[in-house]
Structures are given as structure tokens and as C-alpha cells.
Amino acid sequence: MPSTASIRSSFKDAKTVVVKVGTSVVSRPDGTVAIGRIASVVEQIAQLRLQGKRVVLVASGAIGVGSTRLSEQAVLSKSIRDHLINPNASASTSARARAAAGQGGLMGLYDTLFSQYSVACGQLLVTEADFQSAPRRERFCDSLRWLLDAGGVPVINENDVTARPELRSLFRDNDSLAVLIALELKADLLLLLSDVAGVYARKPEPGETPELLPCVTRVTKVSFGSKSERGRGGMEAKVEAALEAAESGVGAVVIASGFTQESIARLIGGEALGTVFLDHRSFKDAPSETAPTAQAQAQAARSAARALQLLSHAERVQVLHAMADALEANSAEICAANAKDVAAFATSAKNSGTAMAARLLLTPKKLGGVAKGIRSLAEQPNPLGRTVRLVEISPGLQLEQETVPIGVLLVIFESRPDVLPQVAALSIASGNGVLLKGGKEALLTNGALHKTLCAAIEHSTDGRVPGSALGFVQGRDEIAQLLRLHKDIDLVIPRGSNSMVQHIMSSTRIPTLGHADGICHLYVDAAADVEKAIALTIDSKADYPAACNALETLLLHESLVGRGVAARVLDAAKQAGITVFGGPKASTALGLPPAASLRVEYGELAMAVELVDGVQSAVEHVNAHGSGHTDVIVTEDGAAAEAFLRGVDSADVFHNASSRFADGFRLGLGAEVGISTSRIHARGPVGVEGLLTTRNRLISDSSHLVGDFHTGRKTYTHKDLLAPQARL
Amino acid sequence: MPSTASIRSSFKDAKTVVVKVGTSVVSRPDGTVAIGRIASVVEQIAQLRLQGKRVVLVASGAIGVGSTRLSEQAVLSKSIRDHLINPNASASTSARARAAAGQGGLMGLYDTLFSQYSVACGQLLVTEADFQSAPRRERFCDSLRWLLDAGGVPVINENDVTARPELRSLFRDNDSLAVLIALELKADLLLLLSDVAGVYARKPEPGETPELLPCVTRVTKVSFGSKSERGRGGMEAKVEAALEAAESGVGAVVIASGFTQESIARLIGGEALGTVFLDHRSFKDAPSETAPTAQAQAQAARSAARALQLLSHAERVQVLHAMADALEANSAEICAANAKDVAAFATSAKNSGTAMAARLLLTPKKLGGVAKGIRSLAEQPNPLGRTVRLVEISPGLQLEQETVPIGVLLVIFESRPDVLPQVAALSIASGNGVLLKGGKEALLTNGALHKTLCAAIEHSTDGRVPGSALGFVQGRDEIAQLLRLHKDIDLVIPRGSNSMVQHIMSSTRIPTLGHADGICHLYVDAAADVEKAIALTIDSKADYPAACNALETLLLHESLVGRGVAARVLDAAKQAGITVFGGPKASTALGLPPAASLRVEYGELAMAVELVDGVQSAVEHVNAHGSGHTDVIVTEDGAAAEAFLRGVDSADVFHNASSRFADGFRLGLGAEVGISTSRIHARGPVGVEGLLTTRNRLISDSSHLVGDFHTGRKTYTHKDLLAPQARL
């Protein structure tokens, strides 16, 4: 079954599009006409028409327009007024009267609006009778086609004035009318826009942000919310109409909100708005239900993680070994999938880079290395159940704060497929569920890795831990949805380019572990050893210029200029192939080309240099321009070093050591989960402890009530039962 | 000076409103007309007119409409086509031609749109000449007033066809035109809507979300972004025009985005969109600059916190004592301010509750208690600089991970003013800057407390730590802005009602410490001691029913029904005044009124009861319906207890202890910062350690390069230098 995203991406090629706009979209809450939204609909439809598509608009709202018109006494004809004033007039009669007053105005309005784009609009009022007799239906559809052939936009509404709702069977509402039109025209796309944003998997709890089903077929289980539009149709009727259309030859049907700005243009552009309805029979590969939604995946990961947490440490170690073994056992299959990814990447015209191809390539040897890494992770002490705090609250009442998994992680990574098994193993070792989203160029490889690892988890636990502990996320639609699930996902870990990380961080309310920038400084103090300063500068920048912990701005004490030290450092940098730009002071004093900004992450063999007048200025410069990642002082003056280390407000502050040490492995954390510049939860290089939280276990050896403490029968002792940590 | 919010709240009473809509708002990116937005403007203006306001629309965009029209060859008159095709035609000539083609269409469009609401629109084309001669100006303004008196909406545009831009001095652009009209009409409100969202305090860095200045006078320092609209006016001209208008008699001028949905209606409704311009001479109380913006306050707190962090522990202790002393020394002044708040609260018609009045009241005795609390906080061991990890990375290279302050906190609390000094002291003790936002009913009290504490901080540090370490936030405008500043504020701590906490949590991307729900469970196992079960149930619910750690759902093992235990527990609950509702099973088996939901926080003497068939079902029920706060098992069966404590995925899991122990003081944390149900950063009751993060200090006794480790000249030892914690 194709992904919903790929179906949506074909909408832009639709030749014939039917758009139905519900009453609530074209009316204001007080029942008068919402011309703002009407005009926006016309504007978007006119654009589609001007792009060469055949577009039909099925519009509601004549009654609304009538309400507005009738509010002005002067336009009331006597007979209509009688209808309204007559207390015996039925609701449907007065609605009919309002429709009569409104229809003309609505017609004129559409005409004027479309004419702004020199698009002719032909307005057609239909009744059920037009569809009940074959000749009348043919005549109506002929007119419709003629109008489309002539380049016009048909605007269709049921003739509310002459319609007889009591006899209605074919036209339950304007949705059914739109479906009939779409079927007659064999439309490629039918958009049903109203106050219904789509279909939900279940009725949301109060206060919960509900998640829309991206895609529905007749076999999908759906729940109908209580919300329905002001018009005649209810939610069930709407879904039924959409399914009917999808199953009877309309390419795709979408139910989406008409209140979303530019919803038509954005839907045609492939954006993931609303719910897409498909014919379940056309998708032979489809499972009995459509693919699990993002939310369902996250919730399945939560539940699997809870099962994982109940395993003993020995059992989790067994799972890790099973994962490592499975990677080696399925090496051939995984590498075959990888070969296809690599081939597709190589033939793609824009991919000439060999570095990226090398990163994408997975060999049996690389896989063996990954398996070895997982086995060494299995040797580590149990990160879970570690006692962080142990306190006697009162005699017989003991509090133990212990480490537990965070819950559900979402890890987003680019290209390198070996990240997937590494992250999966770290998550399993720490008892977390994880949703994995890799780069699309490694899709087949990642799929094969994921399948192998899920099977290993299920098999090694006799099914006690379902494979859904590792979720596999494929499309961009899904990722956008996942980033909204702040109740179902506890932590997002993006691993990739700065722009990717920045995008993720700005798109979600879920806590994110990572850093968007690594603007690291090295300050050479007046009391620095010159040889050390040179070696540390070169090592910090040139060891791996693209790393986030590489030096970007070198701060030199101004006294170093006169002493010739600055020139020596810059010469050495030049020798090492580093291009140097100058800040406002340095460019003048040292004759350097000016840096565009002193807040730049070059990410290559280039850096900025600026002069400062002492350690205090260096601290201020770093705090003002840095990214709180890693900053270094080079000095032989202990007091200056201490002032720098205390004053710089960064995750890592180093004295006479290369900024390149800011790395989980180098700092002895074992596996590195990421480097965080956030001040919350984890900061600096983060190991497996960044995937943990704690839980308080309070255990009474009899029974403890707070009431007994209020009355003084019992007292708090708050005795620490853990020895303080001593320096060895 | 009145707050920006109070000025905005007066917009709804404006009698005469001039709305200027810029070219970019009424045109699409390709230059054709954006009728969607035009119609929305008309819709909103028509509503204002129907509410009885006098409204003038100054509209741009004839050129855009002309572009659209001209794209259709058939409507081209020969002469206009010549203009366009002639390669020698100047840009302004062809613009004029396009205007000629467009003006008629635009007129017709406005006419049709306004007629939908039976509002007459009179269209006026003006040129600078109309304003340069007094009689012509008088004639023009007469027409304008006549039209307004007659209930019409004047739609005004400069006559681009006859205008001579090269001679222009008065009409720099449509903004100036709108200002002239607003001055002529002595308008109460002038809205300048374009692609400029307002004015920024400074040019935002790339990737930064800029913060708008809520309010500007001529003495405010502003920075002009590079963004400007497609029309003639630039940003500086726009600000100048707005200030001119504000200083020459227009009530208030707002620059806001015309792309925001319903911007006119929302501005009139008092929403904090865009920037308000005022006459600096009319606000005698105004400081030389307007009040610091939310962002400026947050940044000042950051900088003060850095100074605070540089103090020694002894110096911070001195500051705490100075704060305590100052509260007592200024007790009379603070209580006088409080008396005014209490009086205002008592006379307010809707405030009949004495409980809230009691919470609001501050007496010298209460203040003394607060001062005592601060002094006892000063006695606590230094939370900062505690070594969390100490590792020899390699001989001579040592890593120390130490505790440091998080940075800048935002604490939002309701009514009780004693919270302010408590939170301030906790923040100072932990080296954090804090922005304090209290309830509006305690505004004078909080102001007096804040002033006292800031002075104490500055004085006791000889000004090394500025009082801005404690920021004081007053208005709702400011709080909304603060919640957007995820780069300037590190942690939000809301303390108040569930709905307030929920609102804060859903309005910000800044990490939030707290919990929206406290749906706590107590499960009485089959192997429970009946007396313990009864006592723990009553204590957990009735000790303080409104607390977040109070029992909400009692789970009973189904075997307890037949044994009569269930009835005894329910009897005891009834005796204690607790109303009991039943879940699906319990309501049938025990004849209880059915609970609407099993996910309810009653917050009063009421709870739900449900039956489960064992500890596993209890765990599943809690994980499905709980809020991850505190859950209790009552049992004498150790294995059942362990299964519950391991399986329940909550911050606090208790065995035979009241849920009411889930509290920072009771669990021995000293001061409680809050109770967190998040899994990130801190979980459960959080003490001062929730206000801390860590920093890595890497110190070389000589100089360390990573290059030496690549080559094998040096090796990693990763030797832990802290003894593992032993149980005493």
C-alpha cells in the first residue's frame, strides 16, 4: 500500500477536482455570510483553473446570505416577510424564504469574485429531480461538461427554494451532491471542506489534542466525534459519502477543515491536512486495517516499553545479545537491501558525493562492528533500578528514588543506517520504547534492520515484549504528526545537520535533546603558554572541522598582538590550512579580512579571531556570542582559568584542553546519546543516563498515614541512608 | 503610565476607526489580487460598521487588480497595451496603466462585497493636490464626513493614475494618507496593516524568533528590520507616520500584520497583536523609555543571574539574610500595600469567598514567618558546585561535573503573596534569575515585596548583583510574550489551579515543571489488611481533598465484595463524608451511582470506586486512566506490592502509605518547588535540585590534544574518582 504522503503528492497532478464547501465555512457564527472565506475559496479555485485544472465548486450557504439580506428591512418583499413573521410557518418554509432572498446575492457574489481573475463562473442550481430521471441527469451533466470545456468554473448548489427535503433520498446533503458530481465527471479528487477537520481513531478525552487518521478505508475503525456542521449532514453521513465516492471511481476523497487558511491550495500541494479516503479493494497490499497512525505507533511503543521495564536485567541482556546475533545472522538480507539503496542513491542525478555514499554503505564487516558494540553495551552495569536517594522518612517508612526509563523516545537521524541498530540497542538497554526515523535514502536498509531487530526482541522474550518497542516511521507526514504528540512521546533526539535539528526543535513542544549550534570559543589569555596555545588552537579546529565541538572563534588577549604571539598563532593556523576572518578589532589590528558576524559556525577549515582585553571580556564575549556548547581557556594563570570556568555559562568549560574532548566517548560516558545545550534534563555530552528518569518508591513496613504526623503521634526523621560520595 | 493591555482594552470603545490595508495584504505574491484577504477585511469592517462605529478604509492594490485584468488580453484597451508593450515606457507609466485597468475592478469589488452586509461603501480617489489647497481639502473632508454620517464606509485610495510621485511630499505613501485622514476625522484608532507585524527592539539574529515591542513612543529605542512591504513605504517611514499621528491627536495607532486571520476584529477585541504607538508627552508617568519589554526583563535576569553565580556561597547566604531582614524592616509598608489589595478584593462584587481573602492577607506575623523560612534556607548546604561526577579522563586530565543554576526561571503563581518572597529566596539560593508573575488581586502587595527584595539584593552585594535578578511581570500581555521566549527563559514553574497550569503548559515550548492533573489511585489488594485499607483510603482522600496528591479513584479487588470488605471500606468513606461514584463494574456490584468517567480529579470529598480482578488489572487501570502522579497499593503480599510498584508508570508509587506523602516537605526535600509529572528533568516532588543543572569542567595539568589520542601517544583511562555511594 502506498504511503498517504505519496498519494497526497499525486494530488497536484489531478486533472478534475470537485470542491465542496460546507455551510459553516461560508457563514459567520451569527448565520450571516462569511465573504472572507468565500472569497478565499474563489481565489484558490481560480488559481487551480488558471493552472489548467477542471474545477467544480459545490457551495452551500444561500440560506446564510439570505439571512444577511433579510436583516435589511428594505429588501424584504412582502410575501417573504409574511413567511418569516407568520408564527405558523415551519422552519423549512422560512429556510426556503431565506434561501430565495439569498440565492441571487450569492450568485452575484461568486460572479464578481471569479471575474477578478477573468474566470467565468457558471452557476447551476439542481434539485434531486434533476438526478432522478436519466434524460434530465444527462442534460444537467452535459451543461456541466460544456462549461468545463469552455474553461469555466461551475458553481453548483441545490435549489433550496424548490427542493423537497421530505422526499429526499439521493441528496442527503451537499456532500452527496458533491459525490454525485464527482462520479459523473470521474473526478481525480474530491475535497469535502467543512467544520469537520477529518476523522479520528477514537473520541478524544477532554483536554486531549486529538490525532486525525491520515487515511481511512472501509475497514478502518473510526470513531465519530460529536462535532458536526450546521448543515444537514452528520459525520457518519459524510464518511459514508466519502467512502462511496472512493469506492465508485473517484481517485481520492479528502475530508478537511474549511477554516484552515488556504486549505485547498495546501491540499493540492500535498500537505497533510485532513483525512484521505481510499477504496480498500484497490490496495491489494493493504493490511486488514490501514497502517497504524503515528499516535498508535507511539502508544504501542509505550505499552511495549512497559513490558520491557518488567524484564529483569539478565533478560534485557539476553534481548541485546539476540539483537546482535540477529544482525549477523541476517547480514546477507540486510546488505542486499542496502545495495538497492546505494544503487538508487548513485543513479540519482544530484548525488555525486562519494562521502555520503560511503556513509550509506553497510557491509557485513560494518554490521559485525555494530553487533560487537551491542554486545559490549550488554556488558555494562544495569542503568535501571539504581538508587539515587534513600531516606528514612520516619521509622518504618522508607523512600527510595530509583532510576527508571523515560518512556518513549523519538530518534530522527540522517543517512547512516548503522545508527538504527545502535539507537535501538541503547533504548532497549535503558528500557525505553523508541520510534526510529531515518533518512529516506536508507529506507530499504532501515526497513530490513528494523524487521530483524523486532523479530529478535519478540523471539528472545517469547513475545512478552512486542516488536512495537521499536517503531519505524517512514514518511514526512508521520514525523509532523509525531512532533505534535507531546503526551505520547517523552523525548525527541534529532541527530543530523544543524538545519534539521533547528527545524525539529522549532516544530515541537516535546522536550528535545540536542543542540542546533556549536559555536565554540578558545581564549588565549595573556598568561598562556604560546606553544600550548598554538597546538590547542590547531587541534580544536583542524582535528575535524565539521564537528559541533570544533573551534569557531579564537579570542586573543590584546597584549599578544604586540608580543608577536598573535602572529605566530595565525601563521600556524594558516599552515594548517585554516582560513581566518577578523572581528572588528582583530581585522584592523591584524590585517584580517572582516568576519560577517562573530556568531558563525563555519563547520570547515575557517574561523574568526577577535581581540579582548582580559578574561572578563572573554567571558562576556563568549556568553554574548556563544551557543553554550564548549569553550576553552588557555592560560598558566590558575586564577584566570577559574574566572573563565566559573563565568562562562556553557555546558562544557575546559582549561588547556582541546574543545574536541566534548564528546560522550572521550568523556567516558560510553555510548553518546547526543550533546545537549539545553539546561534542562541533561547538559553537555549525554550518555545512557540521558534516557533515564527516576521514580519514588515509598514503602511502609506497617501502614503510614499523614494524619498521624499532623497529630504528633509520628514524626519525620528524614534520615539519609546513603553515605555521601567521597573522593577516592 | 497605563499598561499596553489597558490601552488595548479601550479599542473596543473607539467611535471612529481608520483602517489602512497595505498593497501586500491585498495582492498575491504574483501581483494579482488577493480577494480572499480583501473580502475578509470588508467582512470585519462591515461588522464594525454594523456595531455603530464610523469606519474608513484606506486601501491599496489598484495596481494589483490591474495586473490581473491585464493578463486577459480581451479587456486591454489599445492605448494601455501600447503603454505596456512599449519598451521605453517607464516603470511608473506602466504602473499607472495597470492602475487604470485595475481601479474600476477594485471599486466594483468593494461595492459588491460591502453590499453583502447591506453596507454602502463610497469610494473616494484622492491625490496630493486634494490636500494641498485648503478649499479642496475642506471639500474632500466634507464628503468624507457626509458619507460617514449617512452610515456608509468610505473606501479611499490615492488616484495612482493622476498622481505625480515626483512631486510628492505630503503623501509619502498610503500610510501618510491614512494618517492625514485619521487626523482630519480625529479618529480614536488608526490601524496600519501590512506585511510588517510591528516593531522590534532589535534586529533579530538569524533563526531567532523576534519579539515585538508591545508599545512604542518617540523615546523608545527601536531597530528597523530589513523586511518592508512591496508598496512605497519603508519601515522607518511607517513608524514615523504612526508617531506623527499619535502625537497629533489620533487616540492610538497600531502597526500590525494584515496576514493574521481576523486581525481587525481581534485588535478591536483587545488582543495583543502588533505594536501600539502612543504620544510620549501624554504619559507624564512614563519613564524615559517605556517599560522594559518581556524579553529585556528576561535578558536582564540572565545577566544578573550570572553575577549571582559568581558570588561565593557565603556571599549568597548574606544576600538571603539581607532579604529576610528587609522583609521585616519594611513590614509596615508591605502590609499597607496589602491592606489596599485586601480592601479592593473585599469590595469587588463577585468576591464573597473568605478563604481567598484569608490567603490574600499578609500580616507582620506572616511576614516574620516568611523571613524565618528564608533564614532557614540560608542554613542549608550549598546546592551549587556539588560534584556529581569526577573522572580521570587520562593522566593529568580531570573531568568534574558540578551542579550549576539552570539560569532564568519564570514562576507564575496565584493570589497568595507570600509565595513571592519564598520563590525569590529559593531562586537566589540556587543562583537563578527569576521572573515573578503573581495574581492581579495581589498586585500592590507583590509590587511592595518585589521592591523590598530587589533593594536588599543590590544593597547586600554593593550593586554587584542588580535587582533585575528578580523580574516582576504584571500584565497578561507580558506573560504571553514571555511564554514565547524559549531562548531567554529556561524553565517555567506554574503554581495554581489545574486549568491555569494546563493553559500555561499548552501555551509554551519552554520546559514546564509541574502537573496539570493529579488523578491518584489506591488499590486495595485481595491480601490487604482491612483496617489499613480503610485508614489509608480515608487519609488519602479526606486529609486535604483539594490537594493534587489526594485519592481520586479507589480500586478494590473483586474478591473484597463477597467478603464484605468493600462494604466496610465504603461505609467508612461515607462516615468521613466522602461521596462515592462507581465505575462500570462497581456501580452494578455495589449499587453505587455511576461515575461519569474514571479519569476525574474530584478535588473535593468525592471519589470513584472500581473493581479489578488482581494486581495486573490494577496496574493496567492505573496506567490507562492515571496521570502519572502518585499511586498506592495496600497489601500484605510482598510479591503483589513489588508487581504494583514495578508496573505502575507513575512518579510516585507507594506501598501501605498514604498518597498524601507525595509532597516535597514530607519526602524530606526541604522547600518544594513543585510536583512534576513530566519524565524529563525532574519527576515527583521537586526540591531545590529541580532548579539546577550541571556543567562539565575539564582541566588539564599541562595541555591535552585529541590528536595525541588518535596517534596513541596518550590513552584514555576513564577512572572514576568518586567512591560509589554505599547504603549506611
Is residue A237 domain-shared with residue A151, that is, in the same domain?
A: yes
For residue A448, is it within any domain? yes
Question: How many beta-carbon contacts under 8 Å exist across A and B?
Answer: 324
Residue of B106, B665, B706 to mutate, testing the A interface (most A Cβ within 10 Å of its Cβ): B706
Q: How many CB atoms sit inside 10 A of residue A291's CB?
A: 17
Residues of chain B with pLDDT under 70: 1-3, 60-107, 159-172, 201-210, 219-234, 282-292, 349-355, 415, 476-477
Please give the mean pLDDT across all residues of chain A: 85
Distance CA B685, CA B680 (A): 13
Nearest-CA distance from B725 to chain A in Å?
A: 5
Question: For A35, which residue in chain B has the nearest alpha carbon?
Answer: B39
Inter-chain residue contact A105 with B113, CB threshold 8 Å: no
Residue of A25, A534, A694, A698 to mutate, testing the B interface (most B Cβ within 10 Å of its Cβ): A698
Interval B515-550: pLDDT, tens: 888 999 999 999 999 999 999 999 999 999 988 999
Residue of A26, A35, A728 to mutate, testing the B interface (most B Cβ within 10 Å of its Cβ): A35
Inter-chain residue contact B35 with A406, CB threshold 8 Å: no
Chain A residues in contact with B725 (beta carbon < 8 A): 387, 722-725
CATH of residue A485: 3.40.605.10
Residue of B696, B709, B720 to mutate, testing the A interface (most A Cβ within 10 Å of its Cβ): B696
Is residue A115 domain-shared with residue A44, that is, in the same domain?
A: yes
Q: Where does the pLDDT of residue A85 fall: very low under 50, low under 70, confident under 90, or very high at 90 and above?
A: very low
Among candidates A112, A650, A652 on the partner chain, residue whose Cβ is nearest the Cβ of B109: A112
Residue of B698, B702, B728 to mutate, testing the A interface (most A Cβ within 10 Å of its Cβ): B698
Nearest-CA distance from A693 to chain B in Å?
A: 6
Inter-chain residue contact A667 with B698, CB threshold 8 Å: yes
Single out the residue of B148, B146, B150, B170 nearest to residue B158, CA to CA: B170
Give the residue with greater pLDDT, B197 vs A94: B197
Nearest-CA distance from A389 to chain B in Å?
A: 10
Residue A518 has pLDDT above 60, yes or no: yes
Interval A549-577: pLDDT, tens: 999 999 999 999 999 999 999 999 999 99
CATH of residue B78: 3.40.1160.10
Distance CA B235, CA B232 (A): 10
Q: What is the DSSP letter of A516?
A: S
Is residue B154 domain-shared with residue B269, that is, in the same domain?
A: yes
For residue A691, is it within any domain? no
Inter-chain residue contact B703 with A75, CB threshold 8 Å: no
Inter-chain residue contact A698 with B667, CB threshold 8 Å: yes
Please give the mean pLDDT across all residues of chain B: 84
- B439 vs B39, B183, B414, B447, CA distance in Å? 41, 39, 5, 11
E strand or H helix at A647, and its extent?
A: helix A638-647
Is residue B501 domain-shared with residue B525, that is, in the same domain?
A: no
β partners of residue A110 = none
Chain B residues in contact with A43 (beta carbon < 8 A): 28, 34-36
Is residue B42 domain-shared with residue B164, that is, in the same domain?
A: yes
For residue B325, is it within any domain? yes
Q: Which of B672, B696, B713 is the last residue of a domain?
A: B672
Is residue A300 domain-shared with residue A380, that is, in the same domain?
A: yes
pLDDT score at B698: 97
Among candidates B39, B511, B667 on the partner chain, residue whose Cβ is nearest the Cβ of A399: B667
Interval B4-20: pLDDT, tens: 777 888 899 999 999 99
Among candidates A306, A539, A700 on the partner chain, residue whose Cβ is nearest the Cβ of B655: A700
Distance CA B698, CA A549 (A): 14
CATH of residue B601: 3.40.309.10
DSSP character string of A302-339: HHHHHHHHHS-HHHHHHHHHHHHHHHHHTHHHHHHHHH
Three-class SS of A246-285? HHCCCCEEEEEECCCCCHHHHHHCCCCCCEEECCHHHCCC
Chain A residues in contact with B649 (beta carbon < 8 A): 306, 309, 407
Inter-chain residue contact B702 with A390, CB threshold 8 Å: no
Q: What is the DSSP letter of A548?
A: T
Q: Where does the pLDDT of residue A123 fall: very low under 50, low under 70, confident under 90, or very high at 90 and above?
A: confident
Residue of B209, B680, B683 to mutate, testing the A interface (most A Cβ within 10 Å of its Cβ): B680
**What are the grid coordinates assigned to B75, written together?**
479587456
Distance CA A712, CA A706 (A): 10
Is residue A445 domain-shared with residue A564, that is, in the same domain?
A: no
Distance CA B117, CA B49 (A): 10
Inter-chain residue contact B660 with A406, CB threshold 8 Å: no
Inter-chain residue contact A666 with B716, CB threshold 8 Å: yes
Q: What is the mean pLDDT of residues A416-437?
A: 93
Residues whose CB falls within 8 Å of the CB of residue B69, separated by 6 or more in sequence, listed in order: A118, B75, B101, B102, B105
Inter-chain residue contact B727 with A724, CB threshold 8 Å: no
Q: What is the CA radius of gyration of chain A?
A: 33
For residue A679, is it within any domain? no
Nearest-CA distance from B307 to chain A in Å?
A: 8
For residue B724, is it within any domain? no
Residues in chain A: 728
- A270 vs A9, A216, A274, A473, CA distance in Å? 5, 17, 11, 19
Is residue B480 domain-shared with residue B581, that is, in the same domain?
A: no
Is residue A597 domain-shared with residue A468, that is, in the same domain?
A: no
pLDDT score at A170: 54
Among candidates A115, A391, A655 on the partner chain, residue whose Cβ is nearest the Cβ of B700: A655
**Percent of the residues in chain A that have a pLDDT greater than 90, as a whole number:** 52
Is residue A88 domain-shared with residue A236, that is, in the same domain?
A: yes
Is residue A163 domain-shared with residue A267, that is, in the same domain?
A: yes
Q: Which of B222, B251, B282 is the last residue of a domain?
A: B282
For residue B249, is it within any domain? yes
Among candidates A35, A309, A652 on the partner chain, residue whose Cβ is nearest the Cβ of B39: A35
Q: What is the mean pLDDT of residues A616-622?
A: 96
Distance CA A622, CA A659 (A): 14
Distance CA B680, CA B672 (A): 18
Inter-chain residue contact A698 with B34, CB threshold 8 Å: no
| Secondary structure (3-state) at B472 | strand
Interval A150-204: pLDDT, tens: 888 998 877 655 554 544 455 567 788 898 899 889 999 999 998 888 887 666 6
Give the residue with greater pLDDT, A26 vs A566: A566
Q: What is the CA radius of gyration of chain B?
A: 33
Inter-chain residue contact A656 with B704, CB threshold 8 Å: yes
Burial class (CB in 10 A: 0-12, 13-18, 19+), B315: middle
For residue B634, is it within any domain? yes
Contact in structure between B635 and B655 (CB atoms under 8 Å):
yes
Distance CA A122, CA B107 (A): 23
pLDDT score at B382: 94
Residue A238 has pLDDT above 80, yes or no: yes
Chain B residues in contact with A535 (beta carbon < 8 A): 703, 705
β partners of residue A492 = A410, A512
Domain encompassing residue A421: 294-386+403-506
Can you tell me which residue has the cell 539483537? A323
Residue A299 has pLDDT above 70, yes or no: yes
Inter-chain residue contact B657 with A703, CB threshold 8 Å: yes
Among candidates B69, B306, B658 on the partner chain, residue whose Cβ is nearest the Cβ of A706: B658
Is residue A319 domain-shared with residue A247, that is, in the same domain?
A: no
Q: How many CB atoms sit inside 10 A of residue B306's CB?
A: 22
**What are the grid coordinates assigned to B47, written together?**
461588522
Q: How many domains does chain A fold into?
A: 3
Single out the residue of B50, B45, B37 nearest to residue B18, CA to CA: B45
Q: How many CB atoms sit inside 10 A of residue B197's CB?
A: 21
Q: Which of B653, B672, B691 is the last residue of a domain?
A: B672
| Secondary structure (3-state) at A202 | coil
Start-end of H helices in B380-497: 419-429, 443-460, 476-482
For residue A95, is it within any domain? yes
Q: What are phi and psi of A172, to 5 degrees?
A: -70, -30
Residues whose CB falls within 8 Å of the CB of residue A74, separated by 6 or more in sequence, listed in order: none
Residue A226 has pLDDT above 60, yes or no: no
Nearest-CA distance from B500 to chain A in Å?
A: 13
Distance CA A18, CA A179 (A): 9
Residue A293 has pLDDT above 80, yes or no: no
Distance CA B592, CA B583 (A): 8
Single out the residue of B601, B582, B28 nearest to residue A47, CA to CA: B28
- ipTM, two decimals: 0.70
| CA A72 from centre of chain | 49
Highest mean pLDDT among A87-96, A274-283, B310-319: B310-319
Chain A residues in contact with B507 (beta carbon < 8 A): none
Inter-chain residue contact B666 with A716, CB threshold 8 Å: yes
Distance CA A76, CA A82 (A): 10
